Chains A and B, each alone.
Chain A
Amino acid sequence: MATKRSITITVNGQQHQSEIEPRMLLVHYLREILDLTGTHIGCNTSQCGACVVLLNGEAVKACTVLAMQAHGCEITTIEGLAPAGELHPIQTGFWEKHGLQCGFCTPGMIMSSYQLLKDNPHPTEDEICKGLEGNICRCTGYQNIVRAVQDAAEHMSTETSIPVSTQN
């Protein structure tokens, strides 16, 4: 077995330190070591976007990043997007506009939408589709996901849009 490595990582505002095998993927670290199972594994081949989290504020596919590559970094998962018991405007948008059916793709969709709206607070329909091209949904047919993002864009103020982990 390869030498274990020490990793220090801040997830949803909380610092963690663990000894892990270097081949451990970020998605497995989040789900299995930290028990943050909101981040899903769909394809595990970098295609579906179910595993999207924010790494230093940028959306990444956590199945295609080694946990060690996130050493010293800040991660935000779906669990950390809004304070406990509250919903982020993007989550509210998905709720209000029925942006999900089974919900499997939803955490990834929401984290990708976060990046999309951060880069472009008032996207057109085409820009939303382009921004979410790395996320696959087998249920909704996407229309309501686009509506959910439009709804979020309308309701997002800078204050509520910052994930808890990166506030202050």
Chain B
Amino acid sequence: MSVPAVFDYHPVQSVDEAIALLQLYGDEAKILAGGHSLLPAMKLRLTQPEHLIDIGPIPNLAYIRKEKDAIVLGTLTRYKQIEQSEILHKYYPILPEGTALIGDQQVRNRGTIGGSVAHSDPAGDMPGIVLALKAQLVVQGANGTRTIAADDFFVDTFLTALEQDEIVTAIRLPLPAPHTGSAYAKISNKASHYAIAGCAAVLTINKKGLCTSASIAITGASTRIIRASEVEAALISKKLDDATITSASSHAVANADLISDIHGSAEYRQQMAAVITRRVIMHALERA
């Protein structure tokens, strides 16, 4: 019977209360959101926080709304809400498309976008997707609120730019420019559905059919969430024909520190990343 090590449980009603407890308990405390990364790790005793701060009871942190210049998702928005969101299907289909591939319906009923982003798992889907979407992460700590660009947020495997007393409160996605298309796909582990190699792409095309903006991120293949900058450079200002896309995609993991394990060798991940990147760019282009 595997159960977590002993801890004290603190359900909180507000972000301020959570921050106060983070300050009080320091490294001994962890935030609990959907619990679908944290609890499995605690059951295996990979992590043994002495204090668990459950932000689940905080009201009004699960929402998806359109503001003047952005679509904003509250940190506790569950995958299922994202999958069913009309706003997201309209503006950024990459998000419902990506969440539909996560785990299974039970996982999607519990997991939250903020938890996934804060977890910074390179095999997770949300970090790569919010990176491709050039999201701004709204975080709150003892010193107030600040926003961190996704490009600066994902530091390494399970490591983000969050300070110890900070929590993610919202994810802001800039509204897409006209003729923007987005897509996500992955080759995944058959049991868990975690990505072995995945790609998130957001492309903007101008009237002449030239690519004016390309934002591409790779999931699964690399030891940390990365932007595929060489692919982006090979697409910008080009007409996106088959040859251009295929050649650009071959650089998908050019700057990656590739994972090699029982789920896939580095060579396999490299080749699959190129295949998936090509398909995803084609799909995003159709939607642009």
A-B pairs with beta carbons under 8 Å apart, 19 shown: A2-B6, A2-B7, A23-B3, A23-B4, A25-B3, A28-B3, A44-B2, A45-B43, A46-B107, A47-B192, A49-B104, A52-B106, A58-B80, A59-B105, A59-B106, A64-B40, A71-B11, A115-B105, A133-B104
Interface assignment of A82: CB less than 8 Å from any CB of chain B = no
The answer on a CB contact under 8 Å between B104 and A23 is no
Name the distance in Å between B28's Cβ and chain A's nearest Cβ: 12
Number of contact residues on B: which range applies?
A: 20 to 34
Contacting A at CB under 8 A, from B176-226, are: 191-193
Contact code string A121-148 (vs B, CB < 8 Å = 1, else 0): 0000000000101110000000000000
Out of B1, B6, B39, B192, name the residue touching A64 (CB < 8 Å).
Answer: B39
The answer on a CB contact under 8 Å between A61 and B105 is no
Interface assignment of B36: CB less than 8 Å from any CB of chain A = yes
Contact code string A24-56 (vs B, CB < 8 Å = 1, else 0): 110010000000000000001111010010010
Give chain B residues whose Cβ lies under 8 Å from the Cβ of A149. Answer: none
Given A2-B7, A60-B106, A65-B110, A46-B40 contact (CB < 8 Å): yes
Given A60-B110, A71-B11, A46-B36 contact (CB < 8 Å): yes
Complex: A157 Cα to B18 Cα, angstroms: 45
Nearest CB to that of A61 among chain B residues?
B106
Name the distance in Å between B273's Cβ and chain A's nearest Cβ: 24
Number of contact residues on A: which range applies?
A: 20 to 34
Seed contacts A112-B105, A133-B193; 4 additional CB < 8 Å A-B pairs: A3-B8, A21-B6, A44-B1, A68-B11
Nearest CB to that of B78 among chain A residues?
A58
Give chain A residues whose Cβ lies under 8 Å from the Cβ of B106. Answer: 49, 52, 59-61, 112, 134
- Chain A residues engaging chain B, CB cutoff 8 angstroms: 1-3, 5, 21-25, 28, 44-47, 49, 52, 55, 58-61, 64-66, 68-69, 71, 112, 115-116, 131, 133-135
Complex: A71 Cα to B10 Cα, angstroms: 13
Give chain B residues whose Cβ lies under 8 Å from the Cβ of A59. Answer: 105-106, 109
Out of A24, A66, A112, A131, name the residue touching B35 (CB < 8 Å).
Answer: A66
Interface assignment of B103: CB less than 8 Å from any CB of chain A = yes
Name the distance in Å between B100's Cβ and chain A's nearest Cβ: 9
Interface assignment of B9: CB less than 8 Å from any CB of chain A = yes
Interface assignment of B264: CB less than 8 Å from any CB of chain A = no
Contact code string B95-137 (vs A, CB < 8 Å = 1, else 0): 0000000011111011000000000000000000000000000
Complex: A46 Cα to B54 Cα, angstroms: 20
Complex: A45 Cα to B41 Cα, angstroms: 9
Complex: A59 Cα to B7 Cα, angstroms: 26
Give chain A residues whose Cβ lies under 8 Å from the Cβ of B3. Answer: 23-25, 28
Give chain B residues whose Cβ lies under 8 Å from the Cβ of A46. Answer: 36, 40, 107
